[in-house]
Amino acid sequence: MSRARPIVVDNKSYWFDIKQNQRKATAEQLELLAAVEAIALDDLLDEGLSQGQIIARLREALHGELVPPEVMERRLLRKAEAARQPGCRICTPAGDECEGEITRHHFVPRWIMRELDNYVAYAARSRCTIPICVGRHRDLHYRNDDAPKSIIPYLTASERAFGVKLLDELREQHPRIFELISGGSEATYEGQLLRDYAQGEFHRK
């Protein structure tokens, strides 16, 4: 019995191997799930989903294998919006080809920002996010690979200063959370972020 299952998108069948549960989701799978569930792609990327998790959610949401026309319309709108975004901070300077749409990456994770007393004052995306393509955004948050997790090389001086301000406030307002993250795995985005903070990487040019 075949392990593969199709999802039909715009009259084209995409086959997913349901046994590859731990592989990181592709940009196409993430974009499709965001459109099917009508959620922000940036929020979805923060979850660090595997292929198996994506496929399970797609099949549950679709109740079958066909993607309805309204989902396709949402995908087109997302692509049009992504085309108006600046280039990917990681791929563009290196001359690499982006994987998927351009998203807005919170360089200090939004869940951390929400712990701060004055979160509302910092919430504007223009202040706390940078443009990164789906593939690189996924790599930053995906836990089960060895892709580099440091965001420091891709931040401007003002963004680094803002990141330090947020992490200073986290340390002061929620020392226990700060300690838990600092003592966690360096293979996670949050762990690497706090390691860079502790080692003064935010202040280096």
For the stretch 148-170, pLDDT in tens is: 899 999 999 999 999 999 999 99
- Domain map (residue ranges) of the chain: 4-80, 86-203
- Distance of alpha carbon 113 from alpha carbon 117, whole angstroms: 9
Contact yes or no for 186/150 (Cβ under 8 A): no
Give 30-79 pLDDT, tens digit per residue: 988 888 888 888 888 888 888 888 888 888 888 766 677 777 777 777 77
Nearest to 70 by CA among 27, 10, 118, 14: 10
Contact yes or no for 107/158 (Cβ under 8 A): no
Residue 71, C-beta contacts closer than 8 angstroms, at least 6 positions apart: 32, 35, 36
Helix (H) or strand (E) holding 76: helix 69-83
Higher-pLDDT residue of 68 and 11 is 68
The pLDDT score that the predictor gives to residue 92 is 94
Handedness of CA 30, 31, 32, 35 (dihedral sign): positive
- Distance of alpha carbon 16 from alpha carbon 20, whole angstroms: 8
Q: State the pLDDT confidence band at 1, using cuts at 50, 70 and 90.
A: very low
Contact yes or no for 152/108 (Cβ under 8 A): no
- Distance of alpha carbon 29 from alpha carbon 99, whole angstroms: 12
β-sheet bridge partners, residue 50: 24
The pLDDT score that the predictor gives to residue 186 is 72
Nearest to 195 by CA among 135, 162, 165, 151: 151
Higher-pLDDT residue of 82 and 34 is 34
- Distance of alpha carbon 203 from alpha carbon 15, whole angstroms: 46
Higher-pLDDT residue of 201 and 15 is 201
Supply the pTM of this predicted model: 0.79
The pLDDT score that the predictor gives to residue 18 is 58
The pLDDT score that the predictor gives to residue 21 is 63
Q: What is the mean pLDDT of the chain?
A: 85
Burial of 182 (0-12, 13-18, 19+ CB in 10 A): middle
The pLDDT score that the predictor gives to residue 2 is 42
